[in-house]
Chains A and B, each alone.
Chain A
Amino acid sequence: MTIAVFTFSLIGAMAIGMPVAFALIICGVALMHQMGISDSQIIAQNILNGADSFPLMAVPFFILAGEVMNTGGLSRRIVNVALVFIGHVRGGLGYVAILAACILSALSGSAVADAAALSALLIPMMTKAGHDKARSGGLIAAAGVIGPVIPPSIGFVIFGVVGGVSITKLFLAGIVPGLMIGMALAIAWWWVARGEDIVPPPKQSWAAAWRAVVDGAWALVLPLIIIFGLKFGVFTPTEAAVVAAVYSLFVATCIYRELKLSELYGVLVSAALTTSVVMFLVAAALVSSWLITVSEIANQVVDFLQPFMGNKILLMAAIMVLVVIVGTALDMTPTILILTPILMPIVKAAGIDPVYFGVLFIINNSIGLITPPVGVVLNVVAGVARIPMGALIRASWPFMVAELIVLALMVLFPALVMVPARWFGV
């Protein structure tokens, strides 16, 4: 009964166009009524205290860093570096997009920012070289999926806080799976683009390559700072985020001088507003999450899944299918917030490593960003590159399938995630 109240109030409220944050509060109100403990203070306490978290302060700092990198010319220089090395090979611009996506991922926490930057910079170049425009857009949308998998990642931060899992471990465990997705995309790109008639851009001289690297060095150092800083314990994830923000501000204003002080105010407001939207949602989700804890929904779900409990792979497969379905309609943050409190007790009860689960969960959520009908990254790419939505969805599916295959392999062979994670000391 409690599960029914939870599900129907939430879906009902969202269906009539209510913002997810308010739908979650309404769902909380419904749960309170059903459990006979209605009190406005439960709502206020959980929302206010839910926002009051030092680890979650990584969110505004990573968002700020992402905004500054795009406005301040860091993203463009990273694309340039990838371009001078592999732009000239056959179909090379596709590999440039994938490589640049991996590097950008290591700088920014979000898929949307990465996909926006890459579509603006690369799609015009790719169409000029003779690639199909929709296919190029499909590849870039799919490459955006790497963003939240390679650290830093806002998805990992929110999952780590809500699920009580070490954010540092999640970050370090995400590196290799992110690169694996890149590899899978490269293979898929080679396959679908092999018949295209292309004039790749000319090979650049070594001098030009050197210039691009020197110019991009300031931007390329940042991922190293973040990953080594986390690995060797120079800072916590929140501090890594603030270092990324300050560093990119410094490079954008003092080195590249592309971010004018007059633009800075707009960047700050935009980062603060984006944070408010994400975090208000996080805070609102803690109302129903508290009520789920107090009720026994989690136990009911565990009981329901009892037949799967003995088989970790089967259980993971079932959960992953559920997340794919939810992900078709819901954005990443709400999916994490709604599912984590329900799934974590199951994962723990079944003895699945929470870090392993977290990596797969975030990959899955990230793929959800390009699954129709609601795929935010698709919207961004379609908007920036002016590609019709239908064409983009058709062109992106081979890449999406490649990513789902990687995910399936990780379900079947957990070692794919956990062995490399141990290299990083997770």
Chain B
Amino acid sequence: ATVRAPAQGIQERTIRWGHLNNPGHPTSLGVRKVAEVLLAKSGGKLRIREFPASQLGNEMQQQSALRGGTQEMFSASTTSLATVVKDFGLLDFPFIVGSSAQAEALITGPFGKAMLETLPEKDLIGLGYWGLGFRNVTNSRTAITKLEEFAGLKLRVIPNPVYLDTFRALGANPVPMNFGEVYTALETKTIDGQENPYSVILSNKFFEVQKFLSATNHTYTQNIITIGKKFWDQLSADERKLIQDSVNESRDYQREVTLKADTESLGELKAKGMQFNEIAPAEMARIRTATRPVAAKFSADLDQAKVRLFNAELERVQKL
């Protein structure tokens, strides 16, 4: 490969931005917003072309495409980055934040920033995070109101050890499965349920095949916006600034649509006939206690400096 000198000024470029969500999902709305802002800022020169719904491949493929320089941008949950930088797994620990404000404070604070700094050595640049919302459990068997009701539920989880252990600790049977197969598996009752943010449950029509929706709020999922370092290195300082600014400026809009989608999605899921329930605080406390060993077990394997920073930050944000 030829090493190109950094470009001057702003050139005409098309940036392919892939993600896994369907059109209409807050992620997609966010991408379109960034595209709109960037197009205006660059005088029509920097165009973002959105490829939603895994059109460019699964998470692993798009991530390695960014690192290899064959795709420019990608956004997906930080969970998928844990295969690249293990410490991202900290964000998947169960019940670490109690509100989206706390989640926001954690990810925009020193810990979130420190995690972005781990990416360049993996050929990625992190431009920021978008909150995706709390994950909640749906299933076809029972309304989950207490710890014991997790027992024996076959729940699809992200193929990730933290999620597997969390639900094992709750007494459920976690089934790792690729997202693309979940609808059919739910429909055919191969599995009893799954866990995702409300907006994902709605846009993938899981309400058609699931009866119960319980506000477990077990994890807050953050999407991370990444751009390939190989591509980034070809950009001029001006171009980089325009892209970073567009992402930053779209943040408030994206947060708004996420919150709105979260509330509206829940309302619509209820309207579509899902039986929704919250879990009493005392029961939530029992559930939280049951999953406590998970964090301890996985922390041991991670970078201890990151773990300390993470714990200090948790103490700070949990007071919010």
- Which A residues contact B (CB, under 8 angstroms)? 37, 39, 41-42, 45-46, 49, 52, 54-55, 164, 166-168, 230, 232-237, 239, 290, 293-294
Contacts and interface: CB of A to CB of B under 8 A. Distances in A.
A244 to B, nearest CB: 16
A45 B61 contact: yes
B188 A39 contact: no
B270 interface: no
Interface in B176-197: 177-178, 180-181, 183-185, 187-190
Interface in B83-117: none
A294 B188 contact: no
B65 A41 contact: yes
Contact of A293 (B51, B180, B183, B184): B51
Report the 7 A-B pairs with minimum CB-CB distance, sorted nearest first: A233-B188, A233-B189, A49-B61, A41-B68, A42-B70, A39-B70, A168-B184
A54 B65 contact: no
7 contacts: A42-B70, A45-B68, A49-B58, A166-B187, A236-B188, A290-B56, A294-B51
Contact of B188 (A41, A49, A54, A232): A232
A235 B65 contact: no
B187 A49 contact: no
A45 B65 contact: yes
B16 to A, nearest CB: 7
B263 interface: no
B69 A39 contact: yes
A8 B95 CA distance: 57
B237 interface: no
B64 interface: yes
Contacts of A49: 57-58, 60-61
Contact of B181 (A45, A54, A232): A54
Contacts of B61: 45-46, 49
Given A39-B70, A232-B188, A233-B190, A54 B178 contact: yes
Contact-residue bracket for chain B: 20 to 34
Interface in B63-83: 64-65, 68-70
B55 interface: yes
A307 to B, nearest CB: 26
A330 to B, nearest CB: 25
Given A49-B61, A54-B181, A41 B190 contact: no
B247 to A, nearest CB: 22
Secondary structure at the A interface, as helix, strand, loop or mixed, is helix
A233 B57 contact: no
A54 B183 CA distance: 14
B189 A167 contact: no
Contact of A41 (B69, B181, B184, B187): B69
B181 A230 contact: no
Contacts of A233: 187-190
A299 to B, nearest CB: 12
Nearest to A55: B181
Contact of B56 (A52, A168, A293): A293
Contacts of A234: 188-190
A329 B177 CA distance: 38
Given A41-B70, A233-B188, A293 B55 contact: yes
Nearest to B183: A166
Of B64, B177, B188, which is in contact with the most chain A CB atoms at under 10 Å from its CB?
B188
Given A45-B57, A55-B181, A293-B56, A235 B69 contact: no
Contacts of A235: 188, 190
B178 to A, nearest CB: 6
A166 B183 CA distance: 9
Contacts of A167: 184
A220 to B, nearest CB: 23
Interface in B33-61: 51, 55-58, 60-61
Contacts of B187: 166, 168, 233
Contact of A232 (B16, B57, B180, B189): B189
A78 to B, nearest CB: 27
A236 B183 CA distance: 11
Given A166-B183, A166-B184, A45 B190 contact: no
A55 B180 CA distance: 9
A239 B188 CA distance: 12
B188 A230 contact: yes
B60 A168 contact: no
Nearest to B177: A54
A164 B178 CA distance: 14
B183 to A, nearest CB: 7
Contacts of B188: 168, 230, 232-236
A54 to B, nearest CB: 6
A230 B51 CA distance: 32
B69 A46 contact: no
Contacts of A294: 16, 51, 56
Interface in B157-206: 177-178, 180-181, 183-185, 187-190
Contacts of A46: 57, 61
B270 to A, nearest CB: 25
A168 B209 CA distance: 14
Contacts of A168: 184, 187-188
Given A37-B70, A39-B70, A236-B181, A290 B190 contact: no
A366 B181 CA distance: 26
Given A52-B58, A54-B181, A234-B190, 4 more contacts: A54-B178, A166-B184, A232-B188, A294-B16
Contacts of B51: 293-294
Nearest to B209: A233
A293 B53 CA distance: 12
Nearest to B68: A41
A163 to B, nearest CB: 12
A236 B190 contact: yes
Contacts of A42: 65, 70
B21 to A, nearest CB: 14
Of A37, A41, A167, which is in contact with the most chain B CB atoms at under 10 Å from its CB?
A41
A202 to B, nearest CB: 46
Contact of B70 (A45, A55, A237): A45
A112 B308 CA distance: 62
B68 A290 contact: no
Contacts of A52: 58, 60
A166 B180 CA distance: 10
Contacts of A41: 64-65, 68-70
Nearest to B55: A293
B57 A236 contact: no
Contacts of A239: 190
